[in-house]
Amino acid sequence: MADPIIQLENVTKRFDDFEALKGVSADIREGEFFSLLGPSGCGKTTLLRTIAGFEAPTSGQVRIAGQDMAGVPPNRRPTNMVFQSYAIFPHLDVAGNVGFGLRRSPMSAAEKARAVDEALEMVGLAGYGRRAAHALSGGQRQRVALARALVLKPRVLLLDEPLSALDKKLREQMQGELRRLQRQVGITFILVTHDQEEALIMSDRIAVMFEGQIAQMANPEMLYRRPVSRRVAEFIGVMNFLPARVTASSPAGIEVEIAGLGRATLSGDSHAEAAPGEPPSVGIRPEMLTILFGNEPETGRVAEGEVREVVYYGDMTYYEIAIDGAPGTVTVSMRNLVNRPVLRRGERTRISWDERALILFR
Amino acid sequence: MSEWRSSEAARGLALVGPTLLYAVAMLAVPLGAVLVYSFLTDGYLTIIPEFTLANYAEVFSDPIYRQVMARSLGVALAVTVATVVLAYPVAYFVAFHVRPERRSLWLFLITIPFWTSYLIRVFLWKVILGYNGVVNATLTGLGIIDEPLTFILYNVNAVVITLAHAYAPFAILPIFVALGKIDRTLLEAAQDLGESRLATFLRVTLPLSVPGVVAAVLIVFIPTVGDYVTPRLVGGPEGRMIANIIQLQYLRLDNYPLGSALAVTAMAIVTVIAVGFVLSLRRYLRVRQ
Amino acid sequence: MKGRWLRAYTVLYLLFLYAPIALLPIFAFNDATIIAFPLGGFTGRWFVELGKVPALHDAALNSVFIAAMASVSATVLGMLAACASTRYEFPAKRPIMGFIMLPLVLPEIIVGVSLLVVILRAGLHLSHWSIIAGHILIVTPFSIAILSSAFASLDRSLEEAAIDLGETPWSTFRLVTLPLVMPGIISSLLIGFTISLDEFIIAFFLSGSEPTLPVYIFGQLRFPQKIPIIMALGTILVVLSILLLVTAEYFRRRGIRRAGGQDSGGFLG
Ligand SMILES: Nc1ncnc2c1ncn2[C@@H]1O[C@H](COP(=O)(O)OP(=O)(O)O)[C@@H](O)[C@H]1O
Ligand SMILES: [Mg+2]
């Protein structure tokens, strides 16, 4: 595989007495769509600005295309940024904004104009060049910011929560367009987001960050199916946790006694970290629990319980079910099908599950 | 950019440096010089570099100076109260009853008169309040009075009216700014909790606008104590204020030490009053919104 | 209901504010030497007379020169301080800025007196430059107030974007910062010019043999027969000030609009 385009080596960043980045290491590959995902305040923006050159690491190294970036100012880096506020120059029109970075380029005026037009066309704003900056809608501003960065053909495009200011419909549409654009231009995209769904939908790989550190770096599927810690599991999607006790452990498998589910044997690699001080627990995703309606035959192991809450979503129904012998409730999601009824509160039901869907947190 | 940030303090100081230096050279040093002069001895047309407290002794013992000082403070107090009380409803109206996009137009209308020749404005009050002035012409014309009023010009009343007019925008703007910062949902919350509009005003709006009122009071009170033009033009002999005496000492009698002592004393008294005023209201000034 | 009473009050208040100025044109065009009621006929002769007073022309030229120098210098100093105070944290920031803004509340006579003391003490002569020095001092706080709001409404990521797109810090200032605060600069120049043009006390204390316009006017107020001419002059000054202010306000608002901000009110706000 080619050398990574960006290498972060033990990057730390300290603001006065606050440590925003506590040793971040990562390799980001050429041409991939990479996301930095984490709750607000975890240091995503700081890391992105460190790559862009707006912050210098307190220690550690940032290499871009193999070159150490220490002391290289933002204007000399092969990266460009789409700012969270978009930072559209209000005194310039759309073409003036998109062509801003071409001022120093050796291209002729005609070539520059063509490059601007191409960039505008790429983001779906062909013909908008003479529009005043303040006459643009939120989505259009975002496209101008994209075109302005892409016209310079950077090696890496940095995007700081570019979609968070848009309403839901527009956001979903732009998610698709960004993904398409990234495939089309083949540039490495690094996206900062606090929205796990957005990260899962768009990325080739995701780094989940908590408190200035990367907790897990993986592709979306691995992240969802094999979270390395209970914290990551809770942050990505929904997961049920049931108290568990390890009764035997060998390289072949781990035997556990799970509240409400009984004994189970887990494969050696399906365990992850619990939070410090937490007792061991077993996690299972809502869609891995299946309600058996009426006399449906059992397909795996079965537990019984009572429906405590029903949340109807149209395509899906979410149930809160108190499993006999387990504390609290678990969430179960069921797709609504033609022949499937919706259970009512208070009904008793059977739930089927499979050992292979379990993850042990200890 | 980290070099930028780590040296942020240095950059900030470097930027503010020239302006600060200018203020030190043209304000701090001269004020220091006035302070030094106030302790020197006056020789006719020269100044004898001998330390003395005689100037201050004269300032505090001469009944004329005491009277003028008291009058200056009294006039400034009256002007401040009149200006702020009259200005508050105007600021309130603009802040709460004018559509946001029209506000700057109203503020602009309010500030325009302030920017037109101060000297001529003061002189025009003389025209308004004079023996054959607008007020008297109107009142006699309407048959309300037979003889023109004389107590409205060349006395303290005229000074107060004129100054209250001159400083009006200075009072309106800070109060408007303070009122504008008040979160409207606080007022709705108070009414939701059962308060009438008046009680809401007294219990929420007024306390939250105190910072603006304090700013208005200071910005009106301090300069009016030292106003020269108004007492000179409309005050008459019994309307003279401290600035007129200071000017007399400096430019007419060439007694710089005594003039300096008068200036320093006036500044000291004003500072004490201002600081005392702010401290007495500091409970309201700490509110963070 | 309540709003209507307040509006009526505010309109009355505005009448009170405008009353003196409204008299200016009345007496400027009044065909009588005495400034009092009842009025005489209509005349334009006072404006004609204005053109025949060389001393007045000299004073006006002095004032314009002083106002130009003072407003330009104060705007430069104001820009430095406004930039520092809106962009940077530095030690003793509040006391430093407070001190620089002090002339806003200091009685002008104190500024005049103290400058007079040092200028004479230093053995210098009173000239235009002594007045300019004093005017810079009192205009700078206004410049800072205007330019601070210009700098504060400027989104920092605009400058970062320019650097990100390959510009140096200096070219970023030239291409992004300067155009965006330019309306504030123009507004500061105009306001500064207006303040200096109108300032009396400092000029009174610090003018040598060459008076400024207000000092000249003050001298003329003692001569009743000169008053109508002064009324005509005042009318012209008021019209000029309003023109300057409307222009300043226009630029201030354009600046806020350009920077994409919300208009919060007057320039002192
Ligand atoms: N310039 C700064 N000075 C001081 N603290 C900062 C600065 N920038 C960010 N921080 C702090 O660093 C932490 C991480 O910030 P940020 O990277 O913006 O988080 P995120 O983008 O993940 O929400 C926050 O607690 C923030 O308060
Ligand atoms: Mg962020």
What pLDDT sits at residue C261? 54
Best probe of the A interface among C163, C164, C175, by most A CBs < 10 A, is C164
Q: A274-323 pLDDT, tens per residue?
A: 677 778 889 999 999 998 887 777 777 888 899 999 999 889 999 999 99
Kindly indicate whether the domain formed by A238-362 is annotated with CATH number 3.30.70.100: no
DSSP C110-128: HHHHHHHHHHHHTTPPP-H
Specify whether the CB–CB gap between B148 and B255 falls below 8 A: no
The CATH H-level (homologous superfamily) assignment of domain C24-259 is MetI-like (1.10.3720.10)
DSSP β-bridge partners for residue A290? A352
DSSP β-bridge partners for residue A210? A213
* Confidence tier at C234 by pLDDT (50, 70, 90): confident
Q: B83-109 pLDDT, tens per residue?
A: 999 999 999 999 888 888 788 888 888
Q: C53-79 pLDDT, tens per residue?
A: 888 889 999 999 999 999 999 999 999
What ligand 1 atom has the least distance to the C-alpha of A192? Answer: 21
Put simply, whether C89 touches B (Cβ < 8 Å) is yes
Residue A26 confidence (pLDDT) above 90: yes
Please state the separation of Cα C243 from the chain's center in Å.
12
Please confirm whether the linkage preceding B113 is cis (ω < 30° from 0). Answer: no
Residue A8 confidence (pLDDT) above 90: yes
DSSP C64-76: HHHHHHHHHHHHH
| Mean residue pLDDT across chain C | 85
Specify whether the CB–CB gap between C16 and B134 falls below 8 A: no
- Mean pLDDT of the region C83-94: 86
- Mean pLDDT of the region A179-191: 93
Q: C93-107 pLDDT, tens per residue?
A: 889 999 999 998 888
Residue B173 confidence (pLDDT) above 80: yes
C75: helix, strand or coil: helix
Specify whether the CB–CB gap between B235 and B159 falls below 8 A: yes
Amino acid at B146: D
| Cα–Cα distance for residue pair A82/A69, rounded to 1 Å | 20
Instruction: Give domain limits for chain B.
Output: 63-288
What pLDDT sits at residue B287? 60
Put simply, whether B3 touches A (Cβ < 8 Å) is yes
Higher pLDDT, B3 or B97: B97
Query: What percent of chain A clears pLDDT 90, i.e. is strictly above it?
Result: 51
Best probe of the B interface among A21, A54, A77, by most B CBs < 10 A, is A54
Residue A57 confidence (pLDDT) above 60: yes
Identify which of A35, A45, A46 to mutate to test ligand 1's pocket (most ligand atoms within 8 A of the CB): A46
Sheet bearing A240-250, strands edge to edge: A262-266, A253-258, A240-250, A281-284, A359-361, A271-272
Specify whether the CB–CB gap between A288 and A340 falls below 8 A: no
Residue C262 confidence (pLDDT) above 80: no
Q: Report the 3 state secondary structure along C205-219.
A: HHCCCCCCHHHHHHH
Tokens 């810690």 belong to which residue?
Answer: A229
* Confidence tier at C256 by pLDDT (50, 70, 90): low
Specify whether the CB–CB gap between C82 and C148 falls below 8 A: yes
- What are the chain B neighbours of A56 within 8 Å (beta carbons)? 1-3
What pLDDT sits at residue B143? 79
Q: Report the 3 state secondary structure along C39-51.
A: CCEECCHHHHHHC
Contact yes or no for B9 and C198 at CB 8 A: no
What pLDDT sits at residue B4? 45
Tokens 């083949």 belong to which residue?
Answer: A186
Query: What percent of chain B clears pLDDT 70, i.e. is strictly above it?
Result: 95
Instruction: Give domain limits for chain A.
Output: 4-225, 238-362
Tokens, residue C27: 């007496």
* Confidence tier at A113 by pLDDT (50, 70, 90): very high
**Angle at A201 (CA atoms; ends A195, A203), nearest 5 degrees:** 90
SS3 content of chain C, % helix, strand, coil (to 5): 75, 0, 20
- What are the chain A neighbours of B2 within 8 Å (beta carbons)? 55-56, 58
Q: Fold match between A4-225 and A238-362?
A: no
**ipTM confidence score:** 0.84
- Mean pLDDT of the region A208-221: 94
Tokens, residue B265: 């004393």
What pLDDT sits at residue B1? 41
What pLDDT sits at residue A277? 73
- What are the chain C neighbours of B263 within 8 Å (beta carbons)? 109-110, 113-114
Residue of B231, B22, B228, B216 lying closest to C138 (CA atoms): B22
Tokens, residue A157: 């495009």
- What pTM value is reported for the model? 0.79
* Confidence tier at C2 by pLDDT (50, 70, 90): low
Instruction: Give domain limits for chain C.
Output: 24-259
Q: How far away, in angstroms, is A49 Cα from ligand 2 center?
A: 10
Asked whether the CA dihedral A173, A174, A180, A181 is positive or negative, the reply is positive
The residue whose CA has the least distance to atom 17 of ligand 1 is A43
What ligand 1 atom has the least distance to the C-alpha of A48? Answer: 17
The residue whose CA has the least distance to atom 7 of ligand 1 is A15
- Mean pLDDT of the region B2-29: 81
| H or E segment to which residue B223 belongs | helix B210-225
- Comparing A175-179, C185-189, C245-249, the range with the smallest average pLDDT is C245-249
| Mean residue pLDDT across chain A | 89
C31: helix, strand or coil: strand
Residue of A249, A243, A300 lying closest to A270 (CA atoms): A249
What pLDDT sits at residue B132? 73
Give the N- to C-terminal CA distance of chain B in Å, as an integer.
Answer: 33
What pLDDT sits at residue A118? 92
Residue of C122, C124, C98, C207 lying closest to B30 (CA atoms): C122
* Confidence tier at C42 by pLDDT (50, 70, 90): confident
Our answer on whether the CB atom of A300 is closer than 6 Å to any ligand 1 atom is no
**Residue A270, C-beta contacts closer than 8 angstroms, at least 6 positions apart:** A226, A356, A358, A359, A360
Q: How far away, in angstroms, is C257 Cα from ligand 1 center?
A: 29
- Mean pLDDT of the region B176-194: 79
Best probe of the C interface among B6, B99, B103, B120, by most C CBs < 10 A, is B120
How many C-beta neighbours within 10 Å does residue B109 have? 14
What ligand has the least distance to the C-alpha of A49? 1
- Mean pLDDT of the region B142-166: 83
CATH topology of domain B63-288: MetI-like fold (1.10.3720)
* Confidence tier at C260 by pLDDT (50, 70, 90): low
Higher pLDDT, A75 or A271: A75
Specify whether the CB–CB gap between C83 and C151 falls below 8 A: yes
CATH topology of domain A4-225: Rossmann fold (3.40.50)
What pLDDT sits at residue A82? 92
